[in-house]
Structure 1
């Protein structure tokens, strides 16, 4: 079967690629379009019965040159799409969303294949824990990465108190004495993914929040989870009575897919940047504390480390970044989905609890989460002035 002649618009693309020292063929263009990596040419009418013409879409020349340099046999189209998306190139939006969705759909716990989900929702909790226990059989042997534990130990040896009196008064202490093991932590996380809000109650989460703390640390956050101060303040119970809940009921992966589908392109891009910045932030955060310890002068980095332990979320994000020992496109998109969901959850919380002290968020959240949490970026001059005052 004879190939169709190359269209004038594609001839323009091929010529533009050659002008940038990139060798591209018409067959490659067809293959990239078939894989969803390249948008189709834009057709417009010439008017008055003169037919139509086509031209490459905006930004496609840059994308073609990039694909010529990076597309290799064996590279998955979704990985190429995410890599190009991260470079700010004009990858078709449906392909990008499909790649994000695929990162969630690939999360299948080992026990799920042997124990299909029950049709009756009331049986889902028992099924979730059965699957979670099987999935956690190969869990890591420790809850915290060694680097975090080493920093905590060095700070304690340097005289840092993880239970200052100013905070101790806000922590009523754990309800139970049984320590959370690494396997317990993994089992709870898996059950929470499979069952959602019914298993993610405050009292259920509190011991796992404490498991992330330095030895002997107090935690007002864990105490609040374990002993909600008012009815309806348990995270699993926060809802508007009209279908909107802070935490999803049922499989959390379904909620993640909805979040991906409903996100605006600029939100996906912000989450992708945040995922890359999270690892850089975590490594710099650890390095800064270690530098202060080495110098024997504890300062701002140590204070930030302590605040991260008190607040919980920053410490959880450091842990996640350190666990990803071999960063890849796959791990970055998984992290991007996580931070996108955190951002959406903070927006949900604003709607469900409009009286919250959200003006504190800039000080409570790592900078890379600010765009996703709806925290406006300061103008350069204002930020510089704040630094000068500090």
Structure 2
């Protein structure tokens, strides 16, 4: 079948891209447009009954140059869409949304096996058991570099249960060691069942598992001994807004991607890169501080160790550190999944501000790593539709 003659607009587009070293062909332009990666040329009337003409959008040249350099046989269009979008290139919005949702596979029940509508708890338990059996031996609770630094801190005689912190930890309620199987079970239960399938004590056990042995973990103690305060599952506004999802969390994650602005999605993508730089920098800083302590020349302040202990005490930073060290070079799919996790955390902070308006949120810049705090601020400045008040101003 004969191919159509290339339009003058495409000829001009390839010529402009070629001036910048691109080697794209007319066939590739067609393929990229079919995949939704490249916008079609703008058509406009030529005037005085002379038909119409077309021209490529000005921003298309940058995209063709990028695709020419990165599109290779075997590369999935959605991966290209995610990376090009992260690079600030004008990928069409429907393609961007599709790529984010596909990459994170939020609605792929078939991958997890069938379940009966009336027996969801049993199904979730079966899924957790199956995944734990398949992946438990390959799952790492704490990456080696993190454990090595913990060991150096302990060897330096620095306590993980200093009295001023230990005063806020009443001690664990569980005595059994936490395993990678427990981790997978908790994760599956939280994603597939929400607070219907796990309790605060499960989160507390995970928080303690992230910490070094014998460490004081106040946030875990708060979950284990709520002291009359509501459990996380019970924090809501009475009108359908809950702090944590009560059912399948994938519905909420899908909603987060759907409601997020393109600016927020791109910021979340870059936050993953910042998270990796933050993790490496924090480890480097703590190791340098420990070197100085070992040499008998401790610096006047220890910002790295301070942040390290914040992570232990409140667990969130420790979780982010773990994620970054376990996957330092994520695939586009993995980066999108982690980006949505960060966006979910940022959205949760906005939700918490609405549900607990008198919280001490002024502490967030101190307690959170910069990339997460900035993302939370971006979400707070443009709340998703599900968090906006229906009341008129």
Report if TM-score (shorter chain) is over 0.5. yes
Report the CA distance between 1:29 and its aligned residue.
Answer: 0.8
Q: What does the per-residue CA deviation read over 1:108-156, in whole Å, with 9 as the maximum and x for residues that have no partner?
A: 699823xx12212xx2222212210110122246521121111111101
Give 2:374's aligned residue. Answer: 371
Partner of 1:384: none
Cα displacement (A) at 1:310:
0.9
Contact 1:37 1:81 in 2 (8 A): yes
Are the equivalent residues in 1 in contact too, given 2:59–2:90 (CA < 8 A)?
yes
Pairing partner for 2:219 from 205, 218, 221 = 221
Q: Does 1:272 align with 2:269?
A: yes
Question: 1:210: which partner in 2?
Answer: 208
The residue number in structure 2 matching 1:183 is 181
Query: Could you say which residue in structure 1 is the equivalent of 2:12?
Result: 12
Q: 2:121, 2:61 → 1: CA distance?
A: 52
Q: Deviations over 1:45-67 (max 9, x none)?
A: 56787754432224111000111
Equivalent residue number for residue 388 of structure 1: none
Q: How does 1:1-390 map to 2 (within 5 A)?
A: 1-44=1-44, 52-105=52-105, 112-113=112-113, 116-120=114-118, 123-137=119-133, 138-139=135-136, 140=138, 142-231=140-229, 233-296=230-293, 297=298, 299-324=302-327, 326-374=329-377
Going from structure 1 to structure 2, the CA distance change for 1:29 and 1:142 (only over 3 Å counts) comes to closer
Contact 2:276 2:328 in 1 (8 A): no
The RMSD of aligned alpha carbons is 2.2
Could you tell me whether the CA contact under 8 Å between 2:6 and 2:26 is conserved in 1?
Answer: yes
Q: Secondary structure at the match of 2:27?
A: helix
Deviations 1:146-172 (A, max 9, x none): 211111111011111111221222112
SS at match of 2:43: strand
CA shift in 2, pair 1:329/1:145, >3 Å: same
CA distance in 1, matches of 2:111, 2:98: 25
Q: In the alignment, is the contact (CA less than 8 A) between 1:79 and 1:330 conserved in 2? A: yes
Q: Post-superposition shift, 1:327?
A: 2.7
> Is residue 81–residue 99 contact of structure 2 (8 Å, CA) maintained in 1?
yes
**Where does the alignment leave 5 or more consecutive residues of structure 1 unmatched?**
377-390
Scaled by the length of structure 2, the TM-score of the pair is 0.88
Q: What TM-score, normalized to structure 1?
A: 0.89
Cα 1:17–1:208 shift into 2, 3 Å = same
